[in-house]
Amino acid sequence: MQQMTHDAPVIPRTRMASGFGFALTSAVSFGLAGPLARGLMDNGWSAGATVTARIMLAAAVLVPAAVISLRGRWHLVRNNLGLIVGYGLAAVTLAQFAFFNSIRYLPVGMGLLIEYTAPVAVVVWMWLRHGHRPTWITAVGALLAGLGLILVLDVISGANFNPIGVAWALAAMLGAATYFVVSADEDNGLPPLVLAAGGLLFGGSALLLLGALGLVPMTWEYVDATYALGQVSWWLPIVGLGLVTAATSYVTGIAGVRRLGSRLASFVALTEVLAALAFAWLLLAELPRPIQFVGAAFILGGVVVVKLGERPPVHHVADEVPVGV
């Protein structure tokens, strides 16, 4: 039996390995979402309809499993209903709704770059809220990862700043940061599956409401999706979006965050950008430029440096919860 705090200051080796496995699985799964969705959106699906279908399918799969996993412990849901709803609205709905609005005014790359400043927000939050002041090595790792993102996303040249778009992208960043911070909290006793299922259910319902209010366009076409490797029936990418890029990614993401802590897991999640570039090349024939490969090296290097810069924060016995390996 091991002891850990809110941000996992002391992590056993086996727990660290499984945490990285879960976090990387989540990042790769999330990275597949964009290229898969692009094949649908190029053939008549709106972004809102694609995202809603993705989230609600994942919820339909995870909610029954979450009910079974509770085994009558419904008090966990009742005691944390506000947290689950908040997670769904902020970490699911806000992040995606705000991002899609940001790219109405900004280039997609710039919107992504601003949203992916979430790890910096997590570091600041853990410092201000829990006193986990980052070491200078962690700061260097954050700078390396940030520089890598700038190179990978290639947004330096010709970028157009728009205050409204920047505001929406910053809102998306807050949603992403909320995902890491809330996912790391084990004090509530919620199994990762229950938190993910509940968040997806409430988040998807919120997107449906936004669509009904006309705030998110909801259009779709029952035509084949087009990719570099050929055309496939429209329902195949929908299944992939729901089961792989939502159900799998959220559950493994929460499990990874709880093993690594919100700070480290948020930086590991930066590999989602690398996965997205790889899938874009495979499915959309979008080959990254040489400078983007350099950026990839900076991102991976930054993640390693952040890990090297971790140090156990001062904590109290009252803050500890027993966690089985």
Domain ranges of the chain: 2-323
Greatest mean pLDDT among 38-42, 100-104, 175-179, 205-209 lies in 205-209
Residue 235 has a pLDDT of 94
DSSP string, 208-270: HHHHHTTSS------S-EEETTEEE-THHHHHHHHIIIIIIHHHHHHHHHHHH-HHHHHHHTT
Instruction: Give the pLDDT mean for 33-44.
Output: 82
Q: Which two tokens stand for residue 144?
A: 């390396």
Instruction: Give the pLDDT mean for 47-63.
Output: 89
Q: Is pLDDT above 70 for 172? A: yes
Q: Is pLDDT above 90 for 165? A: no
Instruction: Give the pLDDT mean for 64-85.
Output: 88
Q: Is pLDDT above 50 for 45? A: yes
Q: Is pLDDT above 70 for 307? A: no
Q: Is pLDDT above 50 for 323? A: no
Out of 64-68, 89-93, 100-104, 113-117, least confident range: 100-104
Q: What is the pTM of this model?
A: 0.73
- What band does 107 get if pLDDT is binned at 50, 70 and 90? low
Residue 24 has a pLDDT of 92
Pairing of strands 321-323, 2-4: antiparallel
* Residues 258-276 pLDDT 10s: 788 877 777 787 787 778 7
236 or 276: whose pLDDT is higher?
A: 236
Burial of 314 (0-12, 13-18, 19+ CB in 10 A): exposed
Residue 148 has a pLDDT of 78
